[in-house]
Structure 1
Amino acid sequence: MSTTTITVREYARLTTADCPPSLDAHQVSASAFTWLCELQSRLGKGGAHLLELEGQTWLRLDSLVGVVQTPCGTTLEVLPKTFSDAADVHSSRKLLRKMVAALLDLPSKEASTAALERFDVPLTEWVMAQFVQHLQQLVQQGLRSDYVRLEEELPFLRGQLNTTAQMRQPLTRAHLFHVRHDVFSPDQAANRLLHLALERVRKATAQPETWRLANELSHRLGEIPLSRQPEQDWRAWGTGRLMTGYQAIKPWCELVLGQGMPLALKGDSLGVSLLFPMEKLFESYVTRALRKQMASGFMLHAQSRQYSLAKHDGHPMFQLKPDLVVRDTKGSAVTVLDCKWKRIDQARCDKKYNIPQSDMYQMLAYGCTYLQGKGEMYLVYPRWEQFQAALPAFELPQALRMYVVPFDLNSDKLLLGQSAAFLQAITTAMPN
Structure 2
Amino acid sequence: MKTNLVTVREYARLTTADCAPSLDTHHVSPSAFAWLCELQSRLSKGGASLLELQGQTWLRLDSLVGVVQTPCGTTLEVLPKTFSDADDVQSSRKLLRKVVAALLDLPGKEASTAALEHFDVPLTEWVMTQFVQHLQQLVRQGLRSDYVRQEEELPFLRGQLNTTAHMRQSIGRAHLFHVRHDVFSPNQAANRLLRLALERVRQATARPDTWRVANELSHRLGEIPQSMSQAQDWRAWGSGRLMARYQSIKPWCELVLGEGMPLALKGKAHGVSLLFPMEKLFENYVTRALRKQMADGFTLHVQPRQHSLALHKSQPMFQLKPDLVVRDAEGCAVAVLDCKWKRVDQALSNKKYDIEQSDMYQMLAYGCRYLLGAGEMYLVYPRWQRFESALPEFVLPRELKLHAAPFDMDSDGGALLLGLSPTFLRATKSPIHN
TM-score computed with the length of structure 1 as normaliser? 0.97
Following the alignment from structure 1 to structure 2, what is the Cα–Cα distance between the partners of residues 347 and 341?
A: 18
1:353-389: CA deviation from partner (whole Å, max 9, x where unpaired): 0001111111111111111111000000000011111
* Mean CA deviation greater in 264-273 or 186-195: 264-273
* Mean CA deviation greater in 378-387 or 164-173: 164-173
1:304-346: CA deviation from partner (whole Å, max 9, x where unpaired): 1221222333332222111111111122111011000000011
Following the alignment from structure 2 to structure 1, what is the Cα–Cα distance between the partners of residues 405 and 423?
A: 12
Structure 2: which 5+ residue stretches go unaligned?
none
Q: Conserved in 1, the CA contact under 8 Å of 2:200 and 2:268? A: no
Following the alignment from structure 1 to structure 2, what is the Cα–Cα distance between the partners of residues 34 and 159?
A: 58
Q: Conserved in 2, the CA contact under 8 Å of 1:391 and 1:405? A: yes
Q: Select the residue among 411, 414, 417 that pairs with 2:416.
A: 414
1:189-231: CA deviation from partner (whole Å, max 9, x where unpaired): 1100000000000000000000000000001111011000001
Q: Report the counterpart of residue 121 of structure 1 in structure 2.
A: 121
Structure 1: which 5+ residue stretches go unaligned?
none
1:15-39: CA deviation from partner (whole Å, max 9, x where unpaired): 1111011111001001111111111
Q: How many residues align?
A: 429
1:123-159: CA deviation from partner (whole Å, max 9, x where unpaired): 0000000000000011111111111111111111111
The one-letter amino acid of 1:73's match is G
SS in 2 for 1:269: helix
Following the alignment from structure 1 to structure 2, what is the Cα–Cα distance between the partners of residues 70 and 151?
A: 42
Following the alignment from structure 1 to structure 2, what is the Cα–Cα distance between the partners of residues 54 and 303?
A: 35
Q: Report the counterpart of residue 255 of structure 1 in structure 2.
A: 255
1:17-73: CA deviation from partner (whole Å, max 9, x where unpaired): 110111110010011111111111111111111110111111111111000000100
Following the alignment from structure 2 to structure 1, what is the Cα–Cα distance between the partners of residues 425 and 386?
A: 27
Q: CA RMSD in A?
A: 1.1
Q: Report the counterpart of residue 99 of structure 1 in structure 2.
A: 99
Matches within 5 A, 1:21-420: 21-267=21-267, 269-411=269-411, 412-418=414-420
Following the alignment from structure 2 to structure 1, what is the Cα–Cα distance between the partners of residues 278 and 123?
A: 14
Q: Conserved in 1, the CA contact under 8 Å of 2:294 and 2:424? A: no
Following the alignment from structure 1 to structure 2, what is the Cα–Cα distance between the partners of residues 243 and 309?
A: 45
Shift of 1:268: 6.4
Q: Report the counterpart of residue 427 of structure 1 in structure 2.
A: 426
Q: Conserved in 1, the CA contact under 8 Å of 2:295 and 2:423? A: no
Following the alignment from structure 2 to structure 1, what is the Cα–Cα distance between the partners of residues 310 and 235?
A: 37
The one-letter amino acid of 1:10's match is E
Q: Conserved in 1, the CA contact under 8 Å of 2:300 and 2:327? A: yes
Following the alignment from structure 2 to structure 1, what is the Cα–Cα distance between the partners of residues 105 and 312?
A: 38
The one-letter amino acid of 2:281's match is L
Following the alignment from structure 2 to structure 1, what is the Cα–Cα distance between the partners of residues 425 and 124?
A: 38
Following the alignment from structure 2 to structure 1, what is the Cα–Cα distance between the partners of residues 89 and 431?
A: 29
Following the alignment from structure 2 to structure 1, what is the Cα–Cα distance between the partners of residues 239 and 135?
A: 18
Shift of 1:176: 1.0
TM-score computed with the length of structure 2 as normaliser? 0.97
* Mean CA deviation greater in 397-406 or 301-310: 301-310
* 1:8 maps to 2:8: yes
* Mean CA deviation greater in 285-294 or 121-130: 285-294
Q: Conserved in 2, the CA contact under 8 Å of 1:71 and 1:268? A: no
Following the alignment from structure 1 to structure 2, what is the Cα–Cα distance between the partners of residues 213 and 2?
A: 22
Following the alignment from structure 1 to structure 2, what is the Cα–Cα distance between the partners of residues 212 and 345?
A: 48
The one-letter amino acid of 1:427's match is R
1:155-188: CA deviation from partner (whole Å, max 9, x where unpaired): 1111111111111112221111111111111111
Following the alignment from structure 1 to structure 2, what is the Cα–Cα distance between the partners of residues 369 and 357?
A: 19
The one-letter amino acid of 1:241's match is R
Following the alignment from structure 2 to structure 1, what is the Cα–Cα distance between the partners of residues 403 and 397?
A: 14
* Mean CA deviation greater in 310-319 or 11-20: 310-319
Following the alignment from structure 1 to structure 2, what is the Cα–Cα distance between the partners of residues 321 and 427?
A: 25
SS in 2 for 1:426: coil
Following the alignment from structure 2 to structure 1, what is the Cα–Cα distance between the partners of residues 163 and 313?
A: 62
Following the alignment from structure 2 to structure 1, what is the Cα–Cα distance between the partners of residues 100 and 228?
A: 28
Q: Report the counterpart of residue 18 of structure 2 in structure 1.
A: 18
The one-letter amino acid of 1:138's match is L
Following the alignment from structure 1 to structure 2, what is the Cα–Cα distance between the partners of residues 168 and 42?
A: 50
Following the alignment from structure 2 to structure 1, what is the Cα–Cα distance between the partners of residues 162 and 139?
A: 36
Q: Conserved in 1, the CA contact under 8 Å of 2:335 and 2:376? A: yes
The one-letter amino acid of 1:294's match is M
Following the alignment from structure 2 to structure 1, what is the Cα–Cα distance between the partners of residues 63 and 50?
A: 7
Following the alignment from structure 2 to structure 1, what is the Cα–Cα distance between the partners of residues 424 and 111?
A: 28
The one-letter amino acid of 1:217's match is L
1:80-128: CA deviation from partner (whole Å, max 9, x where unpaired): 1114120110000000000000011111111011111112100000000
